[in-house]
C-alpha cells in the first residue's frame, strides 16, 4: 500500500496514526524471511568475479541492448555477502538487480524499456534561469549537510533494509523533509511501500506540485539504506556516512533552500529516498516500474549516491557517470556544471560505474531519462564500519559541490513559476502528546 501524507508534521502524524500504517509497516518488517528465494540479474563479468561463489542456479541471458547477463537464484541472506563480495572483488557498488520471483526477473530481462531510457529523444534541455539559480548557490550550507550526515550515520547502528533501524530511518527522513515544507499546501510526502522484496523498508517521496506543467515530473533521489562487512540484521555495524547518508543530506539541503526561497516549479518536482538499494536496487526499481505502469511523464532523474569524499590526488572535483544513463541528460549535467560550477573554479570528469551500479539504472531500465553525478574515485571504506564522517575529514565540504549541482538541476529542469511562495510559520502541535511533536532535526546555521 502507498500511504499519502499531507504537508506539515501535525497532519502527517495524525494521518499516519489514523490510517494504521504504523502497524502495517511493522508487519512488513516482521515478514522478512532470510531463507526466501531471490533472483539476481547481473552482467556476466559480475558472475565471473563474484556471483558464481553464491549460486549454482545460473542461466545466461541477453537484454534488449545486447548485454550478456546472467540470472541466478539465491537465498535472501546471501545478498549481504554478495554485496560485500562485489565491492571487494570488483571494487564497485551495486552490480545487480534483485527480484522476489523468477518470473519478475525474466520479464525484466525481456523488456525493451531500457532502449527508451537510453535512446529516447527528449525535449530540449535549456539553461534559462541563471538569476534564480545563481541566487541559490551561495546559500548551500556545509554545516547543515554535515549535521544531517552525522545524524543519519550515528542515530542508528545501521539503515539496513531488513533491520528495525532501517525501518526507523525513512520515518525520520520523511518528518525532516516535511518540517522544511512548513505546511505548504503544494507539498506532500509519501511512504512508498509497494515493493514486494524491500524487507518492509519504505522509500520516501516528497512532492512539490507543479503549476502549469504538473504532469511533467523531475526526480532527485538517493538511497537511504546502508550495508557493511560487520554483523547482520539489527546487529550490523553500517554507519554509511558517505554511502549514502551524504546523498540524502545533499538532497535535504537542496530541498531546504527550495523551501526557504518559496520555490514554485512549473513541473512537478519529487525528492526520493530509496529503500533497499544495497541489495539489488529494489526500492528505486519498484518506484520506477510503478511510474512506468501508470504512464507517468518523467522528464529527468538525477541520482545522488556518495557525494562527500575527495580522493587525494584526484584530478577533478566530481564525475558525470556516462553509463546506465540517457546521453542527452548526461550532456545536460555537463552543461549545468559548465554554466554554474566551472566559473567557481571546480572541475569535472567522465566515468562509468558498471551495470546496475546505483538507482539511476532502475529509472533507465524502466524507460526514463536518468543520470548521476558522484564524488569522484569512490571512498575506499565503503561498506565497512569505517564509513563515518570522521573518516571523510569531519566535514561536508565536498558534498556542497553536488548540492549546488542539484539546485541547478532542480531550478533549470523544474522551471520557475512567476510567483514565489512565502512559507507559513511552522505548525506547533499540542503539548503533552509526544506522537505529534516535531522531530528533532540537525541544527541549521
Is the pLDDT at 25 greater than 80, yes or no? Answer: no
Q: What is the CATH code of the structural domain delimited by 37-111?
A: 3.30.70
Q: Is 205 exposed, middle or buried (0-12, 13-18, 19+ CB in 10 A)?
A: buried
Lowest-pLDDT range of 80-94, 134-148, 242-256: 80-94
pLDDT (0 to 100) of residue 91: 67
pLDDT (0 to 100) of residue 420: 61
pLDDT band for position 425 (cuts 50, 70, 90): low
Q: Quick one: residue 329, left, alpha or beta (phi over 0 = left, psi -120 to 50 = alpha)?
A: alpha
Q: What is the 3-state secondary structure (H, E, C) of 326-338?
A: CHHHHHHHHHHHH
Question: What percent of the chain is predicted at pLDDT more than 70?
Answer: 85
pLDDT (0 to 100) of residue 34: 83
- In 86-223, which ranges are continuous DSSP H helix? 102-110, 113-119, 130-136, 142-154, 164-181
| pTM of the predicted protein model | 0.86
- DSSP conformation class of 222: E
Length in residues, the chain: 445
Is the pLDDT at 408 greater than 50, yes or no? Answer: yes
Contacts of 435-439 with C-beta under 8 Å, sequence gap 24+, read 435/13, 435/17, 436/9, 436/10, 436/13, 436/14, 438/9, 438/175, 438/179, 439/9, 439/172, 439/175, 439/176, 439/179
Mean pLDDT of 349-377: 90
Give the domain ranges of the chain: 2-30+116-414, 37-111
pLDDT band for position 431 (cuts 50, 70, 90): very low
Lowest-pLDDT range of 30-34, 44-48, 383-387: 30-34
Question: What percent of the chain is predicted at pLDDT more than 90?
Answer: 63
pLDDT (0 to 100) of residue 64: 86
Catalytic (active-site) positions: 223, 243, 277-278, 305, 383
Contact yes or no for 315/345 (Cβ under 8 A): no
pLDDT band for position 416 (cuts 50, 70, 90): confident
Q: Which residues pair with 42 in a beta bridge?
A: 70, 96
- How do residues 57-79 score in pLDDT, each as one tens digit? 788 999 888 889 999 998 888 88
Cα 69 to Cα 45: distance, rounded to the nearest angstrom? 8
Q: What architecture is the 2-30+116-414 domain classified under in CATH?
A: 3-Layer(aba) Sandwich (3.40)
- DSSP conformation class of 201: P
Cα 143 to Cα 160: distance, rounded to the nearest angstrom? 26
- What integer best gives the mean pLDDT of the chain? 85
pLDDT (0 to 100) of residue 125: 86
pLDDT (0 to 100) of residue 234: 93
Mean pLDDT of 90-104: 85
Is the pLDDT at 24 greater than 50, yes or no? Answer: no
Cell 562487512: give the residue: 229
Amino acid at each position: 500500500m502507498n500511504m499519502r501524507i499531507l504537508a506539515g508534521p501535525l497532519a502527517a502524524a495524525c494521518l499516519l496514526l489514523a490510517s494504521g500504517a504504523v502497524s502495517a509497516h511493522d508487519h512488513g518488517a516482521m515478514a522478512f524471511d532470510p531463507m526466501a528465494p531471490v533472483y539476481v540479474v547481473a552482467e556476466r563479468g559480475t558472475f565471473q568475479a563474484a556471483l558464481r561463489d553464491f549460486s549454482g542456479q545460473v542461466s545466461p541471458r541477453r537484454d534488449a541492448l545486447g548485454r550478456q547477463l546472467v540470472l541466478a537464484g539465491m537465498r535472501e541472506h546471501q545478498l549481504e555477502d554478495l554485496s560485500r563480495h562485489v565491492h571487494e572483488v570488483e571494487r564497485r557498488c551495486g552490480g545487480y538487480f534483485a527480484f522476489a520471483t523468477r518470473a519478475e526477473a525474466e520479464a525484466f530481462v525481456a523488456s525493451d524499456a531500457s532502449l527508451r531510457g537510453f535512446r529516447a529523444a527528449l525535449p530540449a534541455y535549456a539553461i534559462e534561469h541563471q538569476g534564480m539559480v545563481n541566487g541559490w548557490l551561495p546559500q548551500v550550507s556545509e554545516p547543515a549537510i554535515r549535521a544531517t550526515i552525522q545524524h543519519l550515520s550515528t542515530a542508528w547502528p545501521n539503515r539496513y533494509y531488513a533491520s528495525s533501524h532501517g525501518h526507523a530511518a525513512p520515518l525520520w527522513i520523511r518528518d525532516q523533509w516535511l518540517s522544511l515544507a512548513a505546511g505548504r499546501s503544494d507539498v506532500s510526502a509519501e511512504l512508498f511501500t509497494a515493493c514486494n522484496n524491500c524487507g518492509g523498508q519504505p522509500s520516501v517521496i516528497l512532492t512539490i506540485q507543479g503549476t502549469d506543467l504538473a504532469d511533467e515530473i523531475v526526480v532527485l533521489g538517493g538511497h537511504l539504506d546502508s550495508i557493511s562487512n560487520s554483523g547482520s540484521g539489527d546487529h550490523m555495524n553500517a554507519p554509511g556516512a558517505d554511502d549514502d547518508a551524504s546523498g540524502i543530506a545533499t538532497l535535504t539541503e537542496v530541498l531546504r533552500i527550495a523551501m526557504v526561497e518559496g520555490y514554485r516549479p512549473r513541473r512537478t518536482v519529487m525528492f526520493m529516498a530509496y529503500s533497499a538499494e544495497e541489495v539489488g536496487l529494489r526500492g528505486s526499481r519498484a518506484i520506477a516500474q510503478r511510474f512506468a505502469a501508470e504512464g507517468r511523464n518523467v522528464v529527468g532523474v538525477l541520482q545522488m549516491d556518495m557525494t562527500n569524499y575527495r580522493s587525494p590526488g584526484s584530478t577533478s572535483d566530481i564525475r558525470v557517470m556516462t553509463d546506465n544513463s540517457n546521453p542527452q541528460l548526461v550532456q545536460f549535467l555537463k552543461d549545468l556544471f559548465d554554466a554554474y560550477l566551472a566559473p567557481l573554479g571546480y572541475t569535472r570528469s567522465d566515468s562509468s560505474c558498471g551495470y546496475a551500479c546505483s538507482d539511476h539504472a532502475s529509472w533507465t531500465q524502466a524507460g526514463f531519462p536518468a543520470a548521476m553525478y558522484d564524488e569522484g574515485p569512490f571512498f575506499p571504506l565503503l561498506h565497512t564500519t569505517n564509513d563515518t564522517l570522521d573518516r571523510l575529514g569531519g566535514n561536508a565540504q565536498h558534498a556542497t559541490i553536488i548540492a549546488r549541482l542539484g539546485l541547478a538541476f532542480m531550478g533549470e529542469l523544474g522551471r520557475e513559476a512567476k510567483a514565489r511562495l512565502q512559507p507559513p510559520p511552522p505548525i506547533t502541535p499540542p503539548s503533552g502528546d509526544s506522537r505529534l511533536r516535531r522531530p528533532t532535526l540537525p541544527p541549521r546555521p
